Amino acid sequence: MAKIRILSNKKAAKLRNFDSPKKRRVKMPWVDVEDSPRSKRKQGKRPSLNGLHKTPNRFSAPNGPSSPSKSNGSVDGPTKPGKSSSLQEQRRALPIALGREKLIAKIRQNDVIVLLGETGSGKTTQVPQYILESGIAGTRMVAVTQPRRVAATSLAARVAAEQNVKVGAAVGYSVRFDERSGPDTRIKYLTDGMIVRELLSDPLLSRYSVIIVDEAHERTLRTDLLLASLKGIQKYRSQPSDAKGKGRASLLNPLKIVVMSATLDAEKFSKFFDNAPIEYIQGRQHPVQIFHSAESQSDYLAAALRVFFQVHTDQGPGDVLIFLPGQDDIESLEKSIRLYANKLPHKSMEVVICPMYAAQAAGQNSKVFNAAPPNTRKCILATNIAETSITIPGVKYVIDTGKCKEKQYLARETGGGFDTLLTKDITKSSANQRAGRAGREGSGVCFRLYTEAAYNNMAVSADPEIRRCSLTSSVLQLKCLGQDFQELDFMDKPDYDSVVSAYKSLWLFGALNNSKELTPTGRQMAAFPLDPCYARIVLASKEYNCAPEIVEIVSVLSASSKLFVDVSDQRDSAAELRRKFRHPTGDHLTILGVVKAYQEIALAENKAGRREWCRKHFLNERALLEARDIRDQLKQTCARFGISFDEGVRADNNNDDAVLKALAHGLVQNSALLQPDGVTYKQTMGHTTVKIHPSSALSDRKHPAIIFNELVYTNQVYARGVSSIPKSFFLSIPTLNQRHS
DNA sequence: GAGCACTGC
């Protein structure tokens, strides 16, 4: 069966035309593809092609070239200086250089300014240097925060080169696992998570005289937390010394804040900082011509397929980037494009399809970064990964479905909440960012598979993370600063239920006592760079004497990449190979088994051998390596609290019970009991009925009681990362009845 | 019977 997606109007399942005031008609030489035998349609899922052949697509004319404005995590400005060309010349040629003196004056006069700069304006590399060169920073440091690590490190490298110093000297960076800064460092690029960590040990950020918050429009939870804290810190540091009976504040320079953002929501930042002045910096992005669909598309996959071949057959050279919401759409579109590409006349250009999403195995997407061979067009099918984190060379055409998947935390008054992961319409800011991907190297074209009216109706930017995430970790961090989350002045108020559910979780962990005060346990938990529930598990492992095992497991769970890679066409053989790692109690001990096996291989094999072993077993080595770094970091924190690693991970499995008991301590809220139907489970705390996710080692078995890492609602509520525990374990865990002093 | 993207002294 062909897969038909109905989005809005069932009757509109027939594909509509693209219409244009300019009557821009495009011929579709591939119309005969519709004549492919029906039998072939059965092979694999792919979009409905209803009406595909009937009328040519037409796009409405753009409102002239557009220069999308959201900047991305990569280095602003030219990034490949010729060996001999002068970096200083390049600096002077940047759009921002013209306004240098004015900008310096503005920053000198104001405690806060909001800086709007388009991609390519050079704001992220130049403003810190201007501040330093003008002497505004005094003797302290300039911090530049970034949401992503790669951005922080590559920006530092660029600016160090411009200053003609080594990274770690006058210009440095600080990201997790990697710090390059020293006593001489004056400009420091760091992740927003890192500066929030610094806040915990230095609540006034006394090492800095200027904080530049870059990419503020992304509104990560940590950026919002930082902005809220900065407001208070700034007030405190500008007080006269006797105002609060403490002299300490006056010893510090007043703090200057520069908020850098995309153009769309600058007013909001300005208002938040008492109407701080807004400065605008012209960008230098190549023009991107934008076409909107004349009518809304009920089937974005079919529409994307049509438009791709339209571009492929009618337009000049240049790679095509198609934005899709998720892996299944990518795989399905890949099959369709492959099928129809084979039916093109021989003289046409070849098509190389590059799927791109985060769960891919290492190296699976390497061809995307190589230039396409002669007479070949790359077609990149990507999720949001290509929107900000990865820049793909050669892209001239963007096809934007207007959809993405977004995680949203649904807090409940009882029993904790769960995440939803649903396909949603993108935002204006995201749409502009996607279009901008066509103009990285030259002028480009973006085809939007939605109407101009739909674009105008989009939200300006995504709901800030503070309204979409669990707040448990942030509430705990603020508690360590002696602050209560709900008393802080945030740009957007968090959802009340989320705050309540965060406090409740922390109380259940014993991190807060009955008076909502931080306990010693809570302070210890906050010291771990972990989700609070995992931090609780690590602390519990001391009691049960299984810290080595727990830390291995928690490290893998905390790694950003998934341990098991998914190659959907080899799903069966992958499952077969994984069976030998499968532990009867479930996913947690299965992970431990994989880590142990990898460590044995690591002793016996060289780098290539290890990589081959991972590939053969469908394991993501990147996840294992990242987990190793996390483990080493966690061991250091453990050492501070007397958690011992002397015995190491036991070779036999007779510590399994202890491991499961420790896990249960952090996952109290994530537990469920088998229902009489023998398929679904009911939360022990809360009323949600859940199923075990099919990727779990336990999915095809029945267990009276389970604990799990997370609940995600996609088309059902699934428990992921599941282990079976004896019901009696619940008795040993702190529950609602237990009081904390 | 199925997985948007980031991040942490």
Domain segments of chain A: what residues? 10-64+287-462, 87-281, 528-732
Sheet holding A278-281, edge to edge: A178-180, A171-175, A187-191, A141-146, A208-213, A256-261, A112-117, A278-281
pLDDT at A1: 31
Residue A583: phi and psi, rounded to 5, are: -100, 140
**Cα–Cα distance between A81 and A84 in angstroms, integer?**
8
- pLDDT bracket for residue A85 (50, 70, 90): low
pLDDT at A238 exceeding the cut of 80: yes
CA of A218 to C1' of B2 (A): 29
CB A141 within 8 A of CB A207: yes
- pLDDT bracket for residue A67 (50, 70, 90): very low
- Quick: pLDDT tens for A588-628: 999 999 999 999 999 999 999 998 999 888 898 989 999 99
Once rounded to an integer, what is the mean pLDDT over residues A272-280? 95
Once rounded to an integer, what is the mean pLDDT over residues A655-673? 92
Kindly report which amino acid residue has its CA closest to the C1' atom of nucleotide B1.
Answer: A694
A664 touches strand B (CB under 7 A): no
- The DSSP H or E segment spanning A660 is helix A656-666
**Cα–Cα distance between A523 and A476 in angstroms, integer?**
8
CA of A146 to C1' of B7 (A): 10
**Amino acid code (one letter) for A105:** A
pLDDT at A415: 57
pLDDT at A738 exceeding the cut of 80: no
CA of A379 to C1' of B6 (A): 25
pLDDT at A139 exceeding the cut of 60: yes
Subset of residues 624-663 in chain A with CB less than 7 angstroms from any atom in strand B: 633
CA of A119 to C1' of B3 (A): 32
CA of A557 to C1' of B5 (A): 17
pLDDT at A49: 32
Who wins on pLDDT, A388 or A58? Answer: A388
User: Which nucleotide's C1' atom has the smallest distance to the CA of A571?
Assistant: B2
Subset of residues 313-352 in chain A with CB less than 7 angstroms from any atom in strand B: 325-328
Subset of residues 369-428 in chain A with CB less than 7 angstroms from any atom in strand B: 383-385, 389-390, 404-407, 421
**Cα–Cα distance between A296 and A475 in angstroms, integer?**
43
Subset of residues 123-152 in chain A with CB less than 7 angstroms from any atom in strand B: 147-150
Kindly report the bases of strand B lying within 7 A of a protein C-beta atom. Answer: 1-9
CB A192 within 8 A of CB A226: yes
pLDDT at A413: 55
CB A307 within 8 A of CB A300: no
DSSP collapsed to 3 states, A111-171: CEEEEEECCCCCHHHHHHHHHHHHCCCCCCEEEEEECCHHHHHHHHHHHHHHCCCCECCCE
Subset of residues 526-545 in chain A with CB less than 7 angstroms from any atom in strand B: 527, 529-531
Residue A445: phi and psi, rounded to 5, are: -135, 140
Of the listed ranges A416-420, A571-575, A641-645, A684-688, the least confidently predicted one is A571-575
DSSP A171-195: EEEEETTEEE--TT--EEEEEHHHH
- Quick: pLDDT tens for A146-156: 998 888 998 99
**Cα–Cα distance between A559 and A556 in angstroms, integer?**
5
pLDDT at A737: 46
Who wins on pLDDT, A393 or A185? Answer: A185
**Cα–Cα distance between A27 and A306 in angstroms, integer?**
11
> Any idea which architecture A10-64+287-462 has in CATH?
3-Layer(aba) Sandwich (3.40)
How many alpha carbons lie under 13 Å from residue A165 in its C-beta half-sphere?
18
User: Which nucleotide's C1' atom has the smallest distance to the CA of A325?
Assistant: B4
pLDDT at A411: 84
pLDDT > 70 fraction of chain A, expressed in percent and rounded: 84
pLDDT at A344: 86
CA of A156 to C1' of B9 (A): 20
pLDDT at A170: 95
What is the topology classification, in CATH, of domain A87-281?
A: Rossmann fold (3.40.50)
Once rounded to an integer, what is the mean pLDDT over residues A350-377? 84
Of the listed ranges A80-84, A319-323, A431-435, A671-675, the least confidently predicted one is A80-84
CA of A49 to C1' of B7 (A): 41
Of the listed ranges A222-226, A577-581, A651-655, A733-737, the least confidently predicted one is A733-737
**Cα–Cα distance between A713 and A419 in angstroms, integer?**
6
Backbone region of residue A690 per phi and psi (left: phi > 0; alpha: psi in -120 to 50; beta: other values): beta
Kindly report which amino acid residue has its CA closest to the C1' atom of nucleotide B4.
Answer: A405
pLDDT at A53: 32
- Quick: pLDDT tens for A16-35: 333 333 323 322 222 222 22
